[in-house]
Amino acid sequence: MKLLLTSAGINNKSIHAALVDMLDKPIADSNALCIPTAMYGHPWVGPGVKTWEFISGKEENPMVNLGWKSVGVLELTALPSIDQERWVPLVQETDVLLVSGGDALYLNYWMRQSGMANLLPTLRAVYVGMSAGSMVMAPKIGEDFVGWQPPNGGDETLGLVDFAMFPHLDNEMLPGNTMAAAEKWAAGMKGPAYAIDDQTAIKVIDGAVEVISEGNWKLFLP
């Protein structure tokens, strides 16, 4: 698997260069699918304008608007009602998956319900997550980030990486996202945990982890 787990998208030269390197070809020659599902579960975002802004590339955080050869929309909540033969080949052929922020537990639920969770480890595509789209890869997110409540409760997510993520460190719009808050959160995670700001991403290729940053980050070890 090739994962680029960001806090706020492809928003500096270092993260952009990492993405191009992972693609092995120019962005202009690469086909993308964007996944907005996490946005529907978040109380501050939900369906509507913000979701359209992500899909259309109108939002501030660069993801969909990077100059892809083509961009399609993959809505996970619709997939259980569609024959797999109609959408699995599309996912298998795409070059990159662009997964929005929102609510990580809502995204986790629909990743599993749709069958995408089982498909992800088999894909050649680069997975690019933003905020919740990155956090969903962890074993769990921690109680601090629980918003939407899954049917069986808990804070468990996909566990496709062995570390957790605290995004938007020191973001002025989120005054509670301090390093002290991240350290307190990490103490309850019982595993490796990264606090990353919006100028930082975590690159994972076949289990090898590399931090790409022009900002501030910290790794907390149990």
Tens digits of residue pLDDT in 54-95: 999 988 889 999 999 999 999 999 999 999 999 999 999 999
Task: Output DSSP code: residue 11.
Answer: -
Cα–Cα distance list, 151 to 108, 110, 158, 160, 186 (Å): 12, 12, 16, 21, 25
State the CATH number of the domain containing residue 60: 3.40.50.880
How confident is the model over 139-190, as pLDDT tens digits? 999 999 999 999 999 999 999 999 999 999 999 888 999 999 999 999 999 8
d(CA 219, CA 196): 9
By residue range, what is the domain housing residue 173?
2-220
Residue 35 burial (CB count, 10 A): 26
Nearest alpha carbon to residue 55 among 68, 41, 71, 76: 71
The pLDDT score that the predictor gives to residue 46 is: 65
User: How many distinct structural domains can be found in the chain?
Assistant: 1
DSSP E strands, the chain: 2-6, 31-35, 70-73, 96-99, 126-130, 164-166, 193-196, 200-205, 208-213, 217-220
